[in-house]
Amino acid sequence: MKKVLYLLGVLAIVGGLIFGIMLIEDAYNTYGNIIGFVYILSGFVSGILFIGFGKVIELLESINDTLTNIRFK
């Protein structure tokens, strides 16, 4: 599960960056530039959230394994 969330995070960051740059390059007015920057920012934020949730799951699994080992010794 943590690898899936990490992959989704990386894809969100890369996708937001690519689509944002495409919108900025094709924009003929300031609104297109603003929308491009919003795509980049939202892709970055959602990607970091996915990566963070994956890290939380990884740490919780580690804690669970440690407690399971202590309990059954």
pLDDT at 38 over 90: yes
Q: Judge contact between 70 and 62, C-beta under 8 A.
A: no
The domain spans of the chain are: 2-68
pLDDT at 69 over 90: no
The rounded mean pLDDT for the chain is 91
CA 42, CA 65: separation in Å to the nearest integer? 35
Task: Please report the pLDDT score of residue 16 as a whole number.
Answer: 96
Task: Please report the pLDDT score of residue 73 as a whole number.
Answer: 66
Which range (12-16, 21-25, 28-32, 52-56) has the least confidence? 28-32
> Average pLDDT of 9-21?
96
Question: Per-residue DSSP letters for 35-63?
Answer: HHHHHHHHHHHHHHHHHHHHHHHHHHHHH
For residue 33, give the amino acid letter. N
